[in-house]
Amino acid sequence: MPESGPGPMLELDRVVSGYGDGVALHGASLRVAEGEVLGLLGRNGVGKTTLLKTVMGLLRARAGTIRFAGRPIAGLRPFEIARLGVGYVPQGREIFADFTVLENLRLGNLDSDDFSVAFDAFPVLQQRRDSLAGSFSGGQQQQLAIARALMGNPRLLLLDEPSEGIQPSIVAEIADVLRRTAAEQGVAMVLVEQNVDMALALCQRCAFIEGGVIAEEHPVEALRADPAILDRYLAF
């Protein structure tokens, strides 16, 4: 008998997208289950950011289908996709340096003045709620970017290299928050990471992208048992 569990939270089927006349995503397919954390790993320039931006509607899918919780979302605007329950933490964070913490958080959900989800995740944001975000360290800015995404009560979080350029103690705090958010709230995640230890610690499965397509997918246990797979897609 076929398994009758819930359908995937996110499903990409042969998605093509790119910039101008150039194609960067050449038919990428993947699935993420409810509450699952999927690692998306690959070398520089292979299309990781492009894939996340295409899901978020920041780039147009030129072919293929994208479904969120069973609903086709390709062609919707980014704010519509966010409203459906997709949170995005962009590479490089993209917080507003001249805005306070509270002003940045409000941009994550214009309909809510309840910041408890952000403050519960990262208490430092409550302590420094009126500080300008530009006065923060890189790690604190990353925490703010994640908290801003959590403000929208997402069912799916897209995270683009959240540990990039951040001190280890804050990376550990961020990993802890992501682990709890997935386990306790069933939030699904696509985690782009160069930090392999963080990816293996958080993910149940990793997808390897090369040349704009998903080349292989493996459960984390298989990657621990056979590190040659990681080398194939990450070593230079």
Ligand X SMILES: Nc1ncnc2c1ncn2[C@@H]1O[C@H](COP(=O)(O)OP(=O)(O)OP(=O)(O)O)[C@@H](O)[C@H]1O
Helix (H) or strand (E) holding 41: strand 37-41
Closest contact distance (angstroms) between CB of 164 and ligand X is 9
Dist CA 31 CA 194 (whole Å): 21
Closest contact distance (angstroms) between CB of 198 and ligand X is 15
Binding mask 3-42 for ligand X (x = CB under 6 A): ----------------x--x-x-----------------x
Closest contact distance (angstroms) between CB of 193 and ligand X is 10
Q: Where are the beta strands (DSSP E) in 99-186?
A: 156-160
Residue given tokens 């230079």 in the structure block: 236
Residue given tokens 């990816």 in the structure block: 199
Among positions 125-154, residues that touch ligand X (CB under 6 A) are: none
Among 49, 140, 143, 195, the residue binding ligand X under the rule CB under 6 A is 49
Q: Which is nearer to Mg ion, 35 or 162 (CB)?
A: 162
Dist CA 134 CA 150 (whole Å): 20
| Region binding ligand X by CB under 6 A among candidate stretches 44-52, 102-110, 125-133, 174-182 | 44-52
| Region binding Mg ion by CB under 5 A among candidate stretches 41-49, 113-121, 151-159, 179-187 | 41-49
- Contact present, 144 and 166 (Cβ < 8 Å): no
Amino acid identity for residue 221 in this structure: E
- Contact present, 40 and 195 (Cβ < 8 Å): no
| Region binding Mg ion by CB under 5 A among candidate stretches 3-11, 68-76, 88-96, 108-116 | 88-96
Among 17, 49, 142, 143, the residue binding Mg ion under the rule CB under 5 A is 49
- Contact present, 147 and 173 (Cβ < 8 Å): no
Binding mask 69-108 for ligand X (x = CB under 6 A): ----------------------x-----------------
Task: Please give the C-alpha separations between residue 227 and each of 69, 163, 200, 223, in angstroms, as whole numbers.
Answer: 33, 21, 11, 5
Contact between 50 and Mg ion by CB under 5 A: the answer reads no
Dist CA 178 CA 146 (whole Å): 9
Contacts with ligand X by CB under 6 A lie at 19, 22, 24, 42, 44-50, 91
